[in-house]
């Protein structure tokens, strides 16, 4: 099972989601069954680590950002991932526009599984500098994804 989190540059929201979700998967004892990755719809930050604000925020919550390196979303992702999860409407439009025919990844928004919040976005903290808000939003959305993937790996 593989989940791929996607935002614009892959240095803030999706990188934070990858780090947080990887920790959640590890804590649940599912690292051998669930792969976690992230990518950006842009290649502007390719090869860069997470934004310093994202790193500081994750560190405050004792979550490692080690090994996170920005990369662009590519065609193979649509075939290797089970879920591609976008952080906002613009990301979702880009993800949908690039989807190759015959892909098997399910394309979803970050809040699609949270009751009453389907279609909501997480604002880009690169602009707002509100990394703690991003963390809090991900802390609401990610447990629903973990529950979904836990159910799927059981079956």
Residues marked as catalytic: 7, 13, 124
| Sign of the torsion formed by the C-alpha atoms of 47, 20, 103 and 116 | negative
Beta-strand runs (E) in 74-115: 83-86, 106-109
Q: How far is CA 124 from CA 2, 10, 13, 14, 135, in A?
A: 24, 11, 7, 10, 11
- Per the CB < 8 A criterion, the answer to whether 23 and 63 are in contact is yes
């Amino acid at each position: 099972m593989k989940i791929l989190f996607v935002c614009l540059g892959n240095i803030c929201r999706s990188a934070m989601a990858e780090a947080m979700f990887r920790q959640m998967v590890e804590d649940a004892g599912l690292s051998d069954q669930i792969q976690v990755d992230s990518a950006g719809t842009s290649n502007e930050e390719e090869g860069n680590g997470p934004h310093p604000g994202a790193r500081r925020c994750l560190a405050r919550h004792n979550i490692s950002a080690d090994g996170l390196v920005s990369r662009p979303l590519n065609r193979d992702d649509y075939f290797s991932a089970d879920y591609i999860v976008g952080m906002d409407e613009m990301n979702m439009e880009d993800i949908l526009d690039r989807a190759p025919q015959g892909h098997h990844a399910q394309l979803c928004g970050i809040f699609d599984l949270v009751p009453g919040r389907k279609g909501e976005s997480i604002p880009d903290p690169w602009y707002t500098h509100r990394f703690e808000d991003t963390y809090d939003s991900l802390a609401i959305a990610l447990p629903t994804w973990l529950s979904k993937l836990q159910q799927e790996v059981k079956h």
